[in-house]
Amino acid sequence: MFKHYFEGIDNVAVGPVISLIIFFVFFILLILWVLKVDEKYIVKMKNMPIEPNSESVSDQN
């Protein structure tokens, strides 16, 4: 059904190629960031949900 509509569009393959390039660039940059990030930052982010927040502790008193 949609094939008939897309046959009349010039350069219809440009969109999927650009989307694929954006997808791969994003995930390659994400992998590079994960490999380069400091381990202290990872530990801090991992423990963040269970650490008491100073604002919430003062609000309870």
- Checking if the pLDDT of 61 tops 60, the result is no
Q: What is the pLDDT of residues 1-52, one digit of tens each?
A: 666 766 777 777 788 888 889 999 999 999 999 999 999 998 888 888 776 7
Task: Tell me the whole-structure pTM to 2 decimals.
Answer: 0.55
Domain boundaries, position 47:
2-60
SS (H, E, C) the chain: CHHHHHHCCCCCCHHHHHHHHHHHHHHHHHHHHHHHCCHHHHHHHHHHHHCCCHHHHHHHC
Q: How many domains does the chain have?
A: 1
Return left, alpha or beta for 8; rule: phi > 0 is left, psi -120 to 50 is alpha, else beta: alpha
